[in-house]
Amino acid sequence: MLKSKITVQVPQAGTLAEDTILLGDAYVKQYKLSLGHSVTLKFGSFRTTVRISSGGKGDVMKIGASLARQMGIPGGAVLRSSYKQSSSTLSLGPLIGVLISRDYPQQTDRPFGAITMFCRELVDACAAQGASVYFLTPDAAVSGSRIEGWIYNGGWRKTSMPVPDVVNNRLTARKLENRPSVQQFFKEAKSRYGTQVFNEKFLDKNEVFGALGHESSLAKYLPDSRLLRSYADLKSMAARHPVLFLKPERGSLGKGIIRVSKLEGESVLATYTAPAGIRRQSYPSLAKLYSSLGGKLKTVRYQLQQGLTLIDIGKRPVDFRALVQKNHSGSWALTSIVARTAGSNHFVSNLARGGTLSRVKEAVARSNLAPGYKAGAGAKLQRAALDIAQGIDARIPAHFGELGIDLALDTGGRVWLLEVNSKPSKNDNTPLNEGKIRPSVRNMIQYSRYLAGF
């Protein structure tokens, strides 16, 4: 039985002709190659013609030093291989590119700042699965067959790399993602080299709710919601619901959310998220509140959303973050789901605002959820997360490989969708420990292998 991974060795310069590779005899036999026969060697967008010579009995491929430099493969790398007889192409890979927002070249130990450990975890996960990964920034994402990317081989360094088989877009700012050069890179990589780009765009709250609302089986998860375009929208929603949330359409981490609740008569109370907690402001009427938003409405689009009576623990609201990812066969699967309890003096549960994580079962048991609904709550949340991921995949024209789905339970046991994030933070999943490869990272590599055909 042929092993699925092969070790790439790089002999000393001058000991192997650059147009020749030495391939283990088992691979020569499996791929039905003839010694001396020429094939196309492929790694990402890199292609060159090489002759096949015997590499003996080991599970190895030996390539010349100059060829290794062109391919961006360090000696000792363990990769997967496949051979396509119809095109005489011997492929190594997968080569994965992770697009990150910025780098800090002067910080040689931490070139990616706070996410350096996560990037190193991806390197280790790839090594374990026979893949290769490098990291690029929007400045490097330009047209052409070569990219300046960061690799790790005993230390971080920048080098010229081929365009990858798969790009995982982990940009954290829409402004960077919308750069013409980045969009052109995506377009050219896909059309010219067959690169697969996943999580290729941010999601807007209104876009998600609009897409899912067309499917009756998914609409049941959606709170009443609409874009705030005029005072009439606010007035209409307030007439139907005693509590409303105004959420920035492109917000994250709970920033800028306003909770509006009715007081006596026509007066209303607005509660604003703030770094140190919450700030309250009462208004004599809904119209006065709307006029107070005048300046913000010029730059921020709000989604109006029905206020829900969510379960809580000691008056601290609880919601749930599910991480769903496509797996080794391209199907959506649940990787993790955790409960998030809001910090004291907060009404949003984000960790950045003092929220705490716990197991779903534990949070449900401690909450004020009606007793008859507690036993099945976890299964209902998991089913909702998968339903919503599949709905987004079917109805939003973009390629997603992982989604962070924020869900809630009301005190009657009904599941509600709060938000979907196409760039989910790995820190809401499990703690980041050096040397440990989390399921979320392992799954990302498996899906990349599936996309690249390895």
Rounded distance between C-alpha atoms, residue 202 and residue 169, angstroms: 10
Place 248 in a pLDDT band, splitting at 50, 70 and 90.
Answer: confident
Query: Which tokens is 93 given?
Result: 């890979």
Determine contact, residues 116/110, Cβ cutoff 8 Å.
yes
Answer whether residue 433 shows pLDDT above 70.
Answer: no
Determine the pLDDT at residue 273. Answer: 77
Determine contact, residues 441/122, Cβ cutoff 8 Å.
yes
Answer whether residue 375 shows pLDDT above 70.
Answer: yes
According to CATH, the topology of domain 95-198 is Rossmann fold (3.40.50)
Query: Which tokens is 28 given?
Result: 């020569």
Determine the pLDDT at residue 337. Answer: 95
> Which regions of 310-414 does DSSP assign to beta strands (E)?
312-313, 316-326, 332-341, 356-358, 402-409
Determine the pLDDT at residue 428. Answer: 43
Rounded distance between C-alpha atoms, residue 302 and residue 50, angstroms: 58
DSSP 1-43: ---SEEEEE-PPTTSS-TTEEEE-HHHHHHTT--TT-EEEEEE
Determine the pLDDT at residue 315. Answer: 87
Q: What is the CATH number of domain 5-93?
A: 2.40.40.20
Identify the helix (H) or strand (E) that includes residue 216: helix 216-219
- Compare 197 and 277 and report the one with higher pLDDT: 197
Q: How far is CA 306 from the centre of its chain?
A: 28
pLDDT tens sequence across 80-108: 999 999 999 999 999 999 999 999 999 98
Global model pTM greater than 0.75 = yes
Task: State the pairing for strand pair 166-169/302-306.
Answer: unpaired
Angle, CA of 264, 265 and 269, to the nearest 5°: 55
Q: CA distances (Å), 225 to each of 6, 228, 247, 249, in order?
A: 53, 9, 10, 12
Q: Which of 77, 67, 342, 99 is nearest to 200 (CA)?
A: 99
pLDDT tens sequence across 236-246: 999 999 999 89
Answer whether residue 122 shows pLDDT above 90.
Answer: yes
Place 1 in a pLDDT band, splitting at 50, 70 and 90.
Answer: very low
Q: Which of 3-17, 55-69, 268-282 has the highest mean pLDDT?
A: 55-69
Average pLDDT over residues 38-64: 94
pLDDT tens sequence across 128-173: 999 999 999 999 988 788 999 999 999 999 999 999 999 999 999 9
Q: What percent of the chain has pLDDT over 90?
A: 73
Place 351 in a pLDDT band, splitting at 50, 70 and 90.
Answer: very low
Answer whether residue 322 shows pLDDT above 90.
Answer: yes
**SS3 assignment, position 111:** coil
Query: How close are the terminal C-alpha atoms of the chain, in Å?
Result: 17
The mean of the pLDDT values for the chain is 90
Determine the pLDDT at residue 6. Answer: 93
**Ranges of each domain in the chain:** 5-93, 95-198, 224-306, 310-422
Place 275 in a pLDDT band, splitting at 50, 70 and 90.
Answer: low
Rounded distance between C-alpha atoms, residue 112 and residue 135, angstroms: 9
**SS3 assignment, position 138:** coil
Rounded distance between C-alpha atoms, residue 408 and residue 83, angstroms: 48
Amino acid at 44: G
Q: What is the CATH number of domain 310-422?
A: 3.30.470.20
Rounded distance between C-alpha atoms, residue 267 and residue 364, angstroms: 35
